[in-house]
Amino acid sequence: MRRKPSKNRMPFVQMTLCLIVLVFPVLAKAPNTTDRPNILWIVSEDNNTSLIGCYGNPYATTPNIDRFAKESILYKNAFSTAPVCAPSRNTLITGMYPPSLGTEHMRSTNPVPSFVKFFPAYLREAGYYTTNNAKKDYNTVDQVDAWDESSAKATYKNRKPGQPFFSVFNLNVSHESSLHEPAASLQHDPEKAPIPPYHPKTAEFKHDWAQYYDKVEEMDRQFHKLLNELQEAGLADNTIVFYYADNGGVLGRSKRFMYESGLHVPLVVHLPKKYAHLAKAKPGSQTDQLVTFVDFAPTILSLVGIKIPDYMQGQAFLGTQQKPERAYAYGFRGRMDEAIDLSRSVRDKRFRYIRNYLPHRIYGQHLDYLWRAPSIPSWEAEFKAGRLNEVQARFWQTKPAEELYDVIADPDNVHNLATDPKYARELIRLRKANGQWLRQSQDVGFIPEALLTRIAEKTPLYDYARSGRYNRNRVIETATLASSRNPTDGPELTQRLTDSDPVVRYWAATGCTVLKRTSAKTALTQRLQDDEETVQVAAAEALYQLGETDEAVAALKKALASSSRSVRLQALNALLTLGPAAAPALEAARALIPKNPSPNAVNDAYDVRAAQNLVETLEK
């Protein structure tokens, strides 16, 4: 309820306020300074829409979220920008697209420009009590002043009397790590678990799927507990509640991958009756409006009446500053832990388009963390034994340059329509949308990470992209040529091996790997002496494809002694594709592994993980 006007307030002021409300009814809809909504975010980890009952899965056991959805707005087309936590959380906290900021690679720490604030800071400045319990993982330098509290004990309950709050609770029971140890007993029947067509029905997959549904069920109970606490505190009628997942997941080919399974997230928003006017959709309804994580920060500011900063790339989908519905949701993949890859995606209400810029890399590159789930080694074993069908085997093969899926007819994304003439118009439209967004957003993800890190030491990459020093158009054009698998692009790529821009030279060498460009052998050999180590490594990988094994392996072995962790990791990624031919680099790889490595090391240990994998592979 709104507070009654103070008895001490002058009648003239009361009259004036009444006139303002009568003359400007739109202003009356916005929360005022004495009646601002509380905001509660309940965030589950690593689950997509298919794991929640209200999204149509009868095997799922999520009665509390399902009940909540009946009184709220369910978004059918909500998407994480990245299929993994840290880059997607960077999007959430900044309202920016990480490839614009140089924060797309998993657990990088590149800084953002000084004018980019973690958005809770704006709420805190406006008098809100801001809390985070407890995961941050924002993929950049932390901004601790965004929060009044950020810890495992953080709660809105510690605010001043009457102070509005913005509180985040992260439910990590559904995190990927919940599958690392098989449970002895299960609530969900493994034999009835719905297995997607791209997974073989091994005993390990059945168990992992059932176990994960158990974890989602527990997450649902934790969700219910938080809502109960809100109700018991008498705050439910004044609090807007968001439930969503931080990315898709969780079994292989979901989290970290550019499909619906990795990017399509549940989002259910409840606005109490007094704030219902801040949404176009009605409580208990479902909407097909496209929303993406880049929209969350501006939406919260819109709900509480704070002007959205011009630099934010998202747009509000609730509140007083709503924008027309977006036409596309954009997604991205950079390096995932120790596996280097680069993809971009565009999604409208029917189609998902994926552009793979390193198509010579297989989907199923080895990742230590992913392989800890028993189902993944079982999948790999089935592939090596030749027991997979074509759809299941695809994960262990190289990628096409382009993928196109009808997500309504094919929600599992297994029928690639990119080469189907009937869908040529859609392919061209979405390809164009992708290219336009890369340029509009000043995507710096095409700069190899070794150079990206060095630039970030001197200037934020967002600023660098706008300084005139980033030859964006030529770089993106070269990356497109390099990955298109079109032999007619070969002469142009060979010519660009001598370009003045090392980023262009890197992509030209990569294109020679993709095309196995024999006539570029002499030019690639010269690039082994390039001023930039990242170009040397790319050239060495191409030369191996052209039969120059000794020279290529020697160059890659040399790169393992680089002072740049990113260069070492790039060389290890290349060596892991060579099989037994990488043997001369065995001792150099072994030298990168500490005597007592931490099994849970993150951030700066990805080259160690890759080295461990290479050593284990060569010693088998």
Instruction: Report helix, strand or coil for 608.
Output: helix
What is the rounded CA–CA span in Å between residue 66 and residue 72?
10
Secondary structure E strands in 236-328? 239-245, 267-270, 286-292
**Residue 139: DSSP 8-state:** S
N-terminal to C-terminal alpha carbon distance within the chain: 70
Known catalytic residue: 85? yes
Determine contact, residues 471/454, Cβ cutoff 8 Å. Answer: no
Angle formed at CA 564 by CA 561 and CA 567, multiple of 5 degrees? 80
Is the C-alpha dihedral spanning 447, 450, 453, 457 positive or negative? Answer: negative
Tokens 């998202």 sit at which residue?
A: 314
Catalytic residue among 18, 54, 85, 512: 85
What is the rounded CA–CA span in Å between residue 601 and residue 589?
18
Count of Cβ atoms closer than 10 Å to residue 323 Cβ: 14
User: Which DSSP helix (H) or strand (E) runs through 447?
Assistant: none
What is the rounded CA–CA span in Å between residue 525 and residue 544?
11
Which residue type sits at 341? D
Phi/psi region, residue 391 (left: phi>0; alpha: psi -120 to 50; beta: rest), is alpha
How far, CA to CA in Å, does 83 sit from each of 102, 310, 341, 462? 17, 26, 13, 22
Give the torsion through C-alpha atoms of 173, 179, 184, 187, to 10 deg.
Answer: 60
Tokens 């592979």 sit at which residue?
A: 617
**Tokens standing for 145?**
């002043």
CA 264 to chain CA centroid, nearest Å: 11
How far, CA to CA in Å, does 554 sit from each of 358, 520, 561, 585, 616? 23, 19, 12, 8, 20
Instruction: Report helix, strand or coil for 52.
Output: coil
**Tokens standing for 600?**
């849970």
**Tokens standing for 359?**
């198509």
What is the rounded CA–CA span in Å between residue 502 and residue 496?
10
Which residue type sits at 181? E
Q: What's the burial of 614, exposed, middle or buried (CB within 10 Å: 0-12/13-18/19+)?
A: buried
What is the rounded CA–CA span in Å between residue 327 and residue 154?
37
Instruction: State the catalytic residues.
Output: 85
